[in-house]
């Protein structure tokens, strides 16, 4: 089994581009594998989470600053993940595209529309996005990041259970990522628009 982890903060520089690249390249991997997006959070965001736990208050649907907005996105992502990683990844990518590319404002209507687009159960999703279990899953992700990484920063980790090896990539470009995936790609088929770029991702 091959496990691919992308540790990054939604809306940060090149996070969306890296996610899209990994989605693209993972479709060409012939081995059994899983792709995980693992949001990493700042100390300021951790304080917001702790406060919300103490006060038992849900995160607002109209964030007034970027920290709260990113936290809201992560909650949405983790709530969607209850229905599967594939749907959760699609939700996170589409929300970031709406906010960054289409310059839309974050709103409950926007989130609901995207949730419908990726075929989530809307009633369950709207409940889960403010549940204590979803908040706990964010904290669990932070523990995973601390366990796998020596430094918390944008990282792609490729964990190969067959050879008991984990490759850690930081400060990477597409040119750096591609060789790491070539041994796992069917017939080395890499003719994708994303792969042609050498822009720095992290």
Pairing relation of β-strands 2-8 and 33-39? parallel
Cα separation values, 32 from 2, 28, 84, 161, 182, Å: 6, 11, 16, 11, 15
pLDDT tens track for 56-87: 777 878 888 999 999 999 999 999 999 999 99
Q: What value does the mean pLDDT take over residues 2-31?
A: 92
Q: Which residues of 75-87 are buried (b: 16+ CB within 10 A; e: fewer)?
A: bbbbbbbbbeeeb
pLDDT tens track for 127-184: 999 898 999 999 999 999 999 998 899 999 999 887 888 889 987 776 778 888 888 8
Choice between 25 and 81, residue whose per-residue pLDDT is larger = 81
Q: How confident is residue 124, by pLDDT bands cut at 50, 70 and 90? A: very high
pLDDT value of residue 8? 95
Nearest to 4 by CA among 17, 18, 16: 18
pLDDT tens track for 33-56: 999 999 999 888 888 888 877 767
pLDDT value of residue 77? 98
Q: Is it true that 1-40+153-202 and 43-152 share their CATH fold?
A: no
Round to whole Å and give the CA distance between 146 and 10.
Answer: 18
Can you give the pTM of this predicted structure? 0.88
Q: What value does the mean pLDDT take over residues 108-137?
A: 95
Q: How confident is residue 117, by pLDDT bands cut at 50, 70 and 90? A: very high
Is the domain covering 1-40+153-202 a CATH 1.10.150 domain? no
DSSP-assigned beta bridge partners for residue 156: 6, 169
Q: CATH topology for 43-152?
A: Cyclin A; domain 1 (1.10.472)
Choice between 192 and 70, residue whose per-residue pLDDT is larger = 70
pLDDT value of residue 190? 45
Q: How confident is residue 201, by pLDDT bands cut at 50, 70 and 90? A: low
Round to whole Å and give the CA distance between 162 and 143.
Answer: 24
Q: What is the mean pLDDT of the chain?
A: 87
pLDDT value of residue 110? 97
In contact, 63 and 72? CB cutoff 8 Å: yes
pLDDT value of residue 186? 63
Domain boundaries, the chain: 1-40+153-202, 43-152
pLDDT value of residue 62? 86
């Amino acid at each position: 089994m091959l496990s691919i982890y992308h540790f990054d903060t939604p809306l940060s520089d090149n996070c969306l581009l890296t996610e899209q690249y990994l989605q693209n390249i993972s479709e060409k991997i012939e081995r059994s594998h899983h792709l995980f997006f693992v949001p990493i959070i700042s100390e300021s965001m951790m304080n917001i989470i702790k406060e919300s736990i103490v006060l038992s208050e849900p995160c607002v649907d109209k964030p007034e600053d970027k920290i709260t907005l990113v936290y809201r996105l992560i909650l949405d992502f983790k709530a969607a993940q209850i229905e599967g990683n594939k749907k959760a990844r699609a939700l996170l990518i589409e929300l970031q595209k709406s906010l960054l590319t289409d310059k839309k404002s974050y709103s409950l209507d926007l989130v609901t529309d995207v949730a419908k687009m990726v075929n989530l159960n809307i009633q369950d999703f709207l409940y889960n996005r403010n549940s204590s279990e979803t908040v706990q899953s964010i904290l669990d992700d932070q523990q995973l990041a601390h366990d796998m990484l020596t430094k918390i920063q944008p990282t792609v980790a490729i964990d190969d259970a067959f050879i008991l090896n984990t490759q850690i990539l930081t400060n990477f470009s597409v040119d750096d990522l591609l060789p790491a995936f070539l041994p796992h790609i069917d017939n080395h088929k890499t003719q994708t628009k994303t792969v042609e770029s050498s822009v720095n991702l992290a």
